[in-house]
Amino acid sequence: MLHRTLLACSTLLAAAGVSSAQEFSFQVSSAQSSVDIGSNLSQALPGSVLGDYDAVNNPGGTRTLPGLFGGSGNQPVPMDITFQTQLAVQEHPTGGFGASIDLNTSTIVVSGFQFDALGGQTAQANLTLQLLYQSFRTFAPNSVFLGGVPLPLPLGQASVAGLTFVQNGPGAGVLVADPLLANTYSTTILLPVDVSFTVDLLGNVTPVGPLPILLPLNGTLLMGQGTATLSFTGQQSTNQKIPDPLPGQTIDSFPLAVPTILPPGGTANLLFSAVFGSLSFDLSTGIQLVADGSALCLTDRICSVARNSSGLPARIDLVGSLSVSTNNLAVRTTNLPPSRVSVVVFGDSPKGVPFYAGTLCVGGTVYRLAPVQADPFGTALSPVDFSLPSPKFQALRPGSVWYFQTLYRDPSFVGPPANSSEALRVQFCP
């Protein structure tokens, strides 16, 4: 008796932890979704420039001298360069995520959220080098560069690709039922994501990120039979600074053609060397996201199980598909006492109460399949026909969650004349 009591208690605890949530897989509808992104990326490059003059290989090259007076030869000039990337893009994103939706507790939990804001396309970003330096002179051509004022140097455009948002932590929201529209709920989810992308500059691909941000998503959930649609909008701005994004990396003698200032019209050919300084990143994001979801086919084992007169605990599993439209499902029970009668029961909530030598793990609204007799090997098969008009089969709708268990006679067992199998938590899909 003590053993049965402990068994029932452990089953109750297991059942209490079983969620009634429905699991969905969502795919972003690219045609109905859009993303509006603006970003500014500034990479500090503190270093120096030196004319490309070489007495042997380039005797006619540019020479540099710091200051406005004196000096000779070809000397390095301190210079801080900021590499700036400006991106403004409107695209149709692609991606998907999973969601656990529990209408009983009015909660939604999003997992695995990831989407490509560019929808697999590339975007063009404007590139600029901003030069800040003290006054210096060049020879070949002869020119004076007065310092203290930033000099912007347009570089054209670079390609930006793989602008992705990937969830990096839990994201959950509360569902609020619409008082006028059936099966419609509003929700707000604060979603932590990492933003990453690559910049292709003249064939040099530089990865940026991941940069963590919090993305607030406000939207509406529309529930169907085994389907769901989430419509989200999100607005977010972030500003981040990374002190040392590329530790240990340097730029060595990078050719830099700088237009002359006094007099204008010439080009000073310089070699730029630097270390990578801090990286500043501004991002503003506007998202219109529509995602269509389908219920997943899921099966989980729950409930403790006791041995029967065969010496083994009865096991229950499913044969065929959990898809309602496929309609080829059967419940199989093994390790039954040979040739004994059993019946499969299923309910819409878990339970945990003593049942003869076992535990009844099915509760709520309960139905039963037709009794069957186990074969000489202790196996019984109970078909499920979704097409029959019976209420018990019509209740097994796409997306619904039910709990299945087999109860069976076992009069030859020393003790109570009946027992039970383990139980299955089953979610049906379209």
CA separation for the pair 425, 181 (Å, rounded): 30
pLDDT at residue number 15: 39
Report whether 394 contacts 367 (CB < 8 A): no
Report whether 419 contacts 359 (CB < 8 A): no
pLDDT at residue number 17: 47
% of residues, the chain, pLDDT over 70: 95
User: What is the average per-residue pLDDT within 137-150?
Assistant: 93
User: What is the average per-residue pLDDT within 139-166?
Assistant: 90
User: What is the average per-residue pLDDT within 374-403?
Assistant: 94
Task: For 17-58, give the secondary structure using H, E and C.
Answer: CCCCCEEEEEEECHHHCEEEEEEEEEEEEEEEEEECCECCCE
In which band, very low, low, confident or very high, does the pLDDT at 415 lie, cut at 50, 70 and 90? confident
User: What is the average per-residue pLDDT within 122-128?
Assistant: 88
Lowest mean pLDDT among 44-58, 200-214, 348-362: 200-214
Domain 2-20+297-427 = CATH 2.60.40? yes
pLDDT at 335 over 90: yes
Identify which of 272, 275, 273, 269 has the alpha carbon closest to the alpha carbon of residue 54: 269
Domain limits of the chain? 2-20+297-427, 33-294
Report whether 129 contacts 82 (CB < 8 A): yes
User: What is the average per-residue pLDDT within 90-113?
Assistant: 95
pLDDT at residue number 5: 38
pLDDT at residue number 12: 40
Higher pLDDT, 211 or 189: 189
The pTM of the full predicted model, rounded to 2 decimals, is 0.74
Identify which of 292, 326, 406 has the alpha carbon closest to the alpha carbon of residue 358: 406
Backbone CA torsion sign across 305, 309, 312, 317: negative
pLDDT at 374 over 60: yes
